[in-house]
C-alpha cells in the first residue's frame, strides 16, 4: 500500500475515533455506577472554565486543519498535528480526574495509537520528503484524489 494512501486511511481513522470518543463521552454516562454519575453532574462538571474550553476548541481547530494538511501533504501540517497532540496532553493534565466508560477509554487508547502512527509516518518514513510548503500547494484536494485513487 502506498504511504500516501496509508496516511489518508490513518487520518480518516483518527477523525472517526475522535468522533467516537466525543459521542461516547456525551452519551454513555448511563453505564457508570450511580456515584460516578453524581460526581460528573456535580463537581466534575465544574472543572475547567471558559479559558480551558477555549483551549480545547483551539485543539479541535488545529487538529482538523492538520488533518486537511496531512492529506494534502502540506509540510506545515506536520508540526501543527504534533502541537495539537502536545496541547491535548497538557489540557488532559489540567482538567483533573477523568471518569470514563470502558468504551471511551478504549477509543482514546486507539486514538493515541493512531496518532502515534501518523506522527511516525509523517516524520520518520520516506513520505516525509513528499511534503511540500503550503505556498507550493496549487490545488487543495490533489493529494486527496491520489489517496482515493481517482487520479493517476
Whole-number percent of the chain with pLDDT over 90: 64
Confidence (pLDDT) at 106: 95
Instruction: Name the DSSP class of 58.
Output: H
pLDDT at 46 over 60: no
The structure's pTM equals 0.84
The C-alpha cell of 101 is what?
A: 466508560
Q: What are the residue ranges of helices labelled H in the chain?
A: 3-27, 34-41, 50-71, 77-94, 102-124, 142-148
SS3 of 73, please?
Answer: coil
Q: Which residues pair with 132 in a beta bridge?
A: 74
State how far the Cα of 29 lies from the Cα of 38, in Å rounded to an integer: 10
Confidence (pLDDT) at 138: 67
Q: Which residues pair with 74 in a beta bridge?
A: 132
Amino acid at each position: 500500500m502506498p504511504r500516501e494512501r496509508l496516511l489518508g486511511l490513518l487520518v480518516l481513522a483518527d477523525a472517526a475515533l475522535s468522533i467516537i470518543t466525543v459521542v461516547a463521552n456525551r452519551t454513555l454516562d448511563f453505564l457508570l455506577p450511580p456515584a460516578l454519575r453524581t460526581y460528573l453532574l456535580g463537581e466534575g462538571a465544574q472543572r475547567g472554565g471558559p479559558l480551558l474550553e477555549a483551549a480545547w476548541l483551539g485543539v479541535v481547530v488545529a487538529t482538523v486543519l492538520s488533518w486537511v494538511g496531512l492529506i494534502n501533504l502540506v509540510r506545515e501540517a506536520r508540526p501543527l498535528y504534533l502541537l495539537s497532540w502536545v496541547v491535548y496532553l497538557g489540557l488532559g493534565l489540567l482538567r483533573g480526574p477523568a471518569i470514563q466508560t470502558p468504551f471511551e477509554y478504549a477509543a482514546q487508547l486507539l486514538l493515541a495509537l493512531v496518532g502515534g502512527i501518523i506522527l511516525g509516518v509523517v516524520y520518520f518514513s520516506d513520505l516525509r520528503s513528499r511534503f511540500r510548503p503550503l505556498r507550493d500547494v496549487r490545488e487543495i484536494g490533489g493529494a486527496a484524489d491520489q489517496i482515493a485513487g481517482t487520479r493517476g
